[in-house]
Amino acid sequence: MKLFRKLHLWLSVPFGLVITILCFTGAILVFEREVTELSQPHLYKVKALGEEAMPLEELISLASEHIAPDAAITGVTITDDPKRTYQLHLSNPQRASIYVDQYSGEVLGQSKRLPLFSTTLKLHRWLMGSPRAEDGGIAIGKLIVGISTIMFVFVLISGAVIWWPRNRQMLKNRLSIKWSKGCKRLLYDLHVAGGIYAIVVLLALSLTGLTWSFSWYRGGFYKVFGSEVVERSKSKSKSITAGAQSEAVEFAKWQSVYEELAARDSSYAKITISNGTAQQYHDKWGNQRAADSYTFEPATGEIIKHIPYAQSDKAKKIGGWIHSIHLGTWGGIFSRIVTFLAALLGASLPLTGYYFWFKRLYKRHSAKREG
């Protein structure tokens, strides 16, 4: 037990502030989508419901007049909510989208990450540094984040060992938070009991977050679940130029593909269509990237291949689960609230730990001075 107490203390002291930053910024990012949509409602909601949405080919033709010359429309996402706008995906800049009113054809604007969340993400992943080192290695900020996260795992485990009660009465005391016993007692209970309440979620966030920090860890993580990491191809995928007459047929069949997929399963949450492929997502608990995949002939719209999610690649499933658990999206609003609260508790643990450590050092110093 003495060993675990020392381990808990001497790992917390040097890495505590970084852990607080990671947990606090992670908590902020949990509700990024909701905050973004509240701040830019005109992008995500149509002004008025129409009788029928415009055909995709016509919408894309109108939207192509409002994008940069070096950009191209590469896909569309349609949700099951008739009040939500259509999202058109662009090839340049990377991962950018524009939103269109499917009833009027009006281009409403391009989505942009709010400055608050851009800064928070940089702080969370790289401590405001660069995501990549100039020599191609791991950047210092990313390295510190990764090492601190590993240390946090050991801090949490050692904390659980120290917390473990020897009898039922001690268990009751260590699980209770006394709100009316003064500030000092409250901080102690939040550190001891609060840490235990949040430990499972914090371990899940740490262990999944490390897959973005170290390639060796990511490879090992996937192997534990019986798969190999599939790295993203660095080669640029073929772009679809909306203004080119020779490519117009590529969009012409997207409408029929969408209608067929919607008719096959009306319980979909959203459908994403791109050049020759489509994904149908469902709003269920679990992997939020789970989707049935389709391949279709661009010239005719004929579905030539269907891979249900249950039969999809294992690496793709693991990647989706990592993303869903780390962002807290696996259980809808319930899991995000739990993740948010656990992250806030995680941010407070080093601070309350520092408080009691400094109090102890001060008491020792005072006793030596008096003696």
For the record, the structure tokens of 118 come out as 């851009």
Say yes or no: 327 and 305 in one domain.
no
233: Cα within 13 Å, side-chain hemisphere? 4
Contact between 146 and 131 (Cβ < 8 Å): no
Of 293, 312, 331, the residue at which a domain comes to its end is 312
28 belongs to a structural domain: no
Say yes or no: 181 and 139 in one domain.
yes
Residue 367 pLDDT grade (very low, low, confident, very high; cuts 50, 70, 90): confident
pLDDT tens for 97-142 read 999 999 999 999 998 889 999 999 999 999 999 888 777 678 999 9
Domains identified in the chain, total number: 2
First-to-final CA distance of the chain: 30
**Kind of pairing, strands 268-274 and 107-110?**
unpaired
57 belongs to a structural domain: yes
Beta-bridge mates of residue 247: none
Q: Which long-range contacts (CB under 8 A, 24 or more apart) does 107-112 make?
A: 107/62, 107/63, 107/66, 108/42, 108/43, 109/40, 109/42, 109/43, 111/36, 111/40, 111/43, 111/87
Distance CA 206, CA 72 (A): 37
Neighbours of 304 (CB within 10 A): 10
What pLDDT score does 182 carry?
93
Contact between 345 and 27 (Cβ < 8 Å): no
More confident residue, 12 or 370: 12
Point out the least confidently predicted range of 8-17, 24-33, 236-245: 236-245
Instruction: Tell me what the mean pLDDT of segment 335-353 comes to.
Output: 98
pLDDT tens for 215-232 read 999 999 999 999 998 766
Helix ranges (DSSP H) in the chain? 2-30, 32-39, 41-44, 56-63, 115-126, 140-163, 168-175, 183-209, 215-224, 248-252, 254-264, 314-327, 332-370
Above 70 in pLDDT, residue 233? Answer: no
Say yes or no: 146 and 281 in one domain.
no
Say yes or no: 64 and 152 in one domain.
no
Above 80 in pLDDT, residue 94? Answer: no
Contacts of residue 152, Cβ cutoff 8 Å, sequence gap at least 6? 15, 19, 22, 202, 206, 346
Say yes or no: 150 and 277 in one domain.
no
Above 80 in pLDDT, residue 25? Answer: yes
324 belongs to a structural domain: yes
352 belongs to a structural domain: yes
pLDDT tens for 194-217 read 999 999 999 999 999 999 999 999
Neighbours of 41 (CB within 10 A): 9
Say yes or no: 7 and 102 in one domain.
no
Instruction: Tell me what the mean pLDDT of segment 276-300 comes to.
Output: 95
Q: Which residues of 213-245 are buried (b: 16+ CB within 10 A; e: fewer)?
A: bbeebbeebbeeeebeeeeeeeeeeebbbbeee
Provide, rounded to the nearest whole percent, the portion of the chain with pLDDT above 90: 80
36 belongs to a structural domain: no
Above 70 in pLDDT, residue 234? Answer: no
What pLDDT score does 245 carry?
34
What pLDDT score does 243 carry?
42
Contact between 338 and 201 (Cβ < 8 Å): yes
What pLDDT score does 240 carry?
42
Say yes or no: 144 and 285 in one domain.
no
pLDDT tens for 29-77 read 999 999 999 999 999 999 999 999 999 999 999 999 988 888 889 999 9
363 belongs to a structural domain: yes
For the record, the structure tokens of 214 come out as 């170290």
Contacts of residue 19, Cβ cutoff 8 Å, sequence gap at least 6? 12, 148, 151, 152, 155, 346, 347, 349, 350
Distance CA 218, CA 208 (A): 9
Single-letter amino acid, residue 289: R
For the record, the structure tokens of 238 come out as 């073929």
Contact between 35 and 233 (Cβ < 8 Å): no
Of 312, 340, 356, the residue at which a domain comes to its end is 312
Above 50 in pLDDT, residue 236? Answer: no
Say yes or no: 191 and 238 in one domain.
no
Say yes or no: 237 and 225 in one domain.
no
Q: Which long-range contacts (CB under 8 A, 24 or more apart) does 1-4 make?
A: 1/161, 1/162, 4/158, 4/161, 4/162
Say yes or no: 132 and 101 in one domain.
no
pLDDT tens for 245-269 read 334 437 889 999 999 999 999 999 9
Residue 93 pLDDT grade (very low, low, confident, very high; cuts 50, 70, 90): low
What pLDDT score does 244 carry?
39
137 lies in which domain range?
1-22+128-230+317-371
pLDDT tens for 153-175 read 999 999 999 999 989 899 999 99
Contact between 213 and 144 (Cβ < 8 Å): no
Say yes or no: 243 and 218 in one domain.
no
Say yes or no: 98 and 69 in one domain.
yes
Mean pLDDT of the chain: 91
